[in-house]
């Protein structure tokens, strides 16, 4: 951020939360607390916390390393070890970081895992990633089998299949690692806390229906999802963060303000865009600036739903703890089939009154990039809105061309303006 830009209270809170979490992780070997490595999609944070275990999210470590300009060296280190250029760059960044001493993005050494918990198997790369980590650490692995939503809906049998695994496989593994029996009352407390935070997050997302939008649901959105998608969901700090964020959003709505960006408040909002796909992390600020300079606000994003599509009504439910956790795992955005994803984006375009649709296709992420051109063409037909297609990568700086992306986007926004003038 520019020195002249006032950071929002929620941003300060989040930075402090993340910093303290990495400090806690660094002290884990001394404190005796056990560590579980897991992923963001379908993560079982409440269940992990119910055993007083500490979660580590390898893909978060990778993206944080990317934002701090560390990922390039880590990726090259992994490629020296034999990993292909086409492998997911989150994986290579994490493996490279491990080979270079496992120093996390904040400079603290990350502890080795006591358990590898894969709670979403819809990404094949995740499974291979954990195989690599098992080779490195030699610790136990639990893989939760999560059926793909091939027909676009979660069935009762799918929910029970996952819930049964949670009871019969995951809980015993966590009990063994922690040396504790599950306290179901504690689990229910954590789930109830999660639901309250989720209510506030949905309020924040839906605030983008205002004109001007008080938030950027993509670039700003990646900060908003941090606490709830990672180590904090279920904790009082998470609730406090989303209460603060909601209050900030209400203030901006009341005063007709746009979102805070690295370049200052986005006052003029010429175009409202819905975006599909993750952002580029290595040039995050430069990427954001392209849109800021064109007066573009992202009013909805699919990437910020990888850890929960809460606006569709899902909440963690303490009355049905295992069924609720199962539904959460099954409901990941990337566990939806392509027609279901198109439905979600089309609804965003309508409800948020978007002017266009942008697809950022990520070179090394098949979970997002597979079928995206088909999706874009279908969305253009269905909504009547023009789409743009750009390409970059997650954390490999070699695959972000600011000039190329800027040229494509400038042409796209000129087309949107021409269509607006002709209407």
Average pLDDT over all residues of the chain = 93
* pLDDT band for position 3 (cuts 50, 70, 90): very low
* pLDDT band for position 7 (cuts 50, 70, 90): low
- The reported pLDDT for the residue numbered 6 is 53
Alpha carbon distance 199, 32 (integer Å): 35
Highest mean pLDDT among 2-6, 150-154, 395-399: 395-399
156-165 and 321-330 helices, crossing angle to 10°: 110
Alpha carbon distance 233, 120 (integer Å): 17
CATH code for 9-183?
3.40.50.11890
For residue 4, pLDDT over 70 is answered with no
User: CA nearest 36: which of 50, 16, 18?
Assistant: 50
Output the pTM of the full model.
Answer: 0.94
For residue 395, pLDDT over 70 is answered with yes
Lookup result for tokens 């009355």: 319
**Domain chopping of the chain, boundaries:** 9-183
Residue-wise DSSP of 31-77: HT--EEE--STT--HHHHHHTT-EEE-HHHHHHHHHHTT-HHHHHHH
| pLDDT tens for each residue of 263-314 | 889 999 999 999 999 999 999 999 999 999 999 999 999 999 998 899 999 9
Cβ atoms < 10 Å from Cβ of 199: 14
Maximum Cα–Cα distance across the chain: 68
As given in the structure block, the two tokens for residue 59 are 């893909």
Residue-wise DSSP of 83-117: --TTS-HHHHHHHHHHHTT-B-TTSPBPPPPSEEE
Q: Which spans in 213-283 are helix H?
A: 219-224, 226-229, 236-254
Using alpha carbons only, give the angle 118, 367, 136 rounded to the nearest 5 degrees: 40
Average pLDDT over residues 383-399: 95
| pLDDT tens for each residue of 37-53 | 999 999 999 999 999 99
- The reported pLDDT for the residue numbered 2 is 45
Counting residues of the chain whose pLDDT is more than 70, the rounded percentage is 98
3-state DSSP call for residue 191? helix
Task: Characterize the bridge pairing of strands 264-265 and 296-301.
Answer: unpaired
| pLDDT tens for each residue of 186-210 | 999 999 999 999 999 999 999 999 9
Q: Are 21 and 31 in contact (CB under 8 A)?
A: no
Cβ atoms < 10 Å from Cβ of 404: 12
């Amino acid at each position: 951020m520019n020195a002249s830009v006032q950071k929002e209270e929620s941003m300060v809170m989040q930075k402090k939360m993340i910093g303290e979490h990495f400090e806690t992780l660094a002290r884990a070997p001394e404190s005796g607390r056990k560590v579980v490595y897991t992923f963001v999609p379908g993560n079982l944070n409440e269940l992990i916390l119910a055993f007083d275990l500490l979660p580590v999210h390898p893909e978060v470590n990778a993206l944080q390393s990317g934002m701090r300009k560390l990922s390039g060296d880590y990726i090259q280190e992994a490629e020296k070890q034999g990993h292909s250029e086409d492998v997911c760059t989150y994986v290579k960044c994490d493996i490279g970081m491990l080979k270079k001493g496992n120093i996390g993005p904040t400079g603290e050494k990350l502890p080795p895992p006591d358990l590898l918990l894969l709670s979403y198997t819809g990404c094949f790369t995740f499974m291979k990633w954990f195989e690599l980590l098992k080779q490195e650490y030699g610790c136990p692995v639990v893989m939760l089998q999560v059926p793909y939503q091939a027909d676009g809906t979660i069935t009762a049998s799918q929910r029970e299949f996952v819930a049964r695994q949670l009871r019969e496989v995951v809980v015993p593994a966590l009990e063994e690692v922690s040396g504790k029996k599950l306290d179901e009352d504690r689990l229910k407390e954590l789930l109830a806390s999660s639901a309250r935070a989720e209510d506030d997050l949905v309020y924040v997302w839906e605030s983008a229906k205002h004109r001007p939008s008080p938030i950027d649901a993509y670039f700003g959105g990646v900060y908003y999802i941090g606490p709830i998608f990672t180590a904090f969901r279920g904790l009082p700090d998470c609730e406090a963060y989303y209460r603060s964020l909601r209050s900030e959003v209400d203030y901006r709505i009341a005063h007709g303000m746009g979102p805070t960006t690295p370049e200052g408040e986005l006052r003029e909002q010429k175009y409202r865009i819905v975006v599909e796909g993750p952002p580029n992390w290595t040039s995050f600020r430069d990427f954001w600036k392209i849109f800021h300079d064109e007066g573009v606000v992202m009013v909805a994003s699919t990437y910020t739903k990888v850890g929960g599509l809460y606006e569709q009504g899902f909440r963690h439910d303490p009355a049905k703890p295992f069924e609720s956790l199962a539904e959460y795992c099954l409901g990941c955005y990337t566990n939806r089939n392509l027609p279901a994803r198109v439905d979600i984006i089309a609804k965003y375009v309508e409800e948020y009154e978007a002017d266009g649709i942008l697809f950022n296709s990520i070179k090394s992420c098949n979970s997002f990039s597979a079928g995206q051109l088909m999706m874009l063409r279908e969305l253009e037909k269905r909504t009547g809105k023009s789409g743009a297609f750009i390409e970059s990568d997650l954390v490999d700086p070699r695959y972000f061309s600011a000039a190329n992306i800027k040229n494509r986007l400038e042409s796209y926004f000129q087309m949107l303006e021409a269509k607006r003038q002709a209407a």
